[in-house]
Amino acid sequence: MRTLIDIPEQQLKDLSDLCLIEKTSRAELVRRAISFYLARQKQIPAAAFGLWKERQVDGLKYQEQVRSEW
């Protein structure tokens, strides 16, 4: 799929410099960046799921305590 995006001049220059260093096209670097971003986003919900399961705290009491500080 082709798409049209606006990229700030400084980012475009940095991207072009990186292309020269890595000897690859801008399109390839953009594809890699998108893949990296999507993979990272998929990990975020899993990292938080069950975060408090080992704590011996009543969730409602904790919530009320924290909100009372406001």
Angle at 52 between CA 63 and CA 41, to 5 degrees: 105
* pTM of the predicted model as reported, rounded to 2 decimal places: 0.58
Q: Has residue 33 been placed in a domain?
A: yes
More confident residue, 1 or 44: 1
- Mean pLDDT, rounded, for 36-45: 82
Q: Has residue 25 been placed in a domain?
A: yes
Q: Has residue 1 been placed in a domain?
A: no
Q: Has residue 43 been placed in a domain?
A: yes
What pLDDT sits at residue 62? 86
In our burial notation (b when 16+ CB lie closer than 10 A, e otherwise), range 5-22 reads eeeeeeeeeeeeeeeeee
Q: Has residue 64 been placed in a domain?
A: no
Q: Has residue 57 been placed in a domain?
A: no
In our burial notation (b when 16+ CB lie closer than 10 A, e otherwise), range 32-52 reads eeeeeeeeeeeeeeeeeeeee
- Mean pLDDT, rounded, for 20-38: 95
Q: Has residue 55 been placed in a domain?
A: no
Structural domains in the chain (count): 1
Structural domain including 29 reads 9-50
Q: Has residue 62 been placed in a domain?
A: no
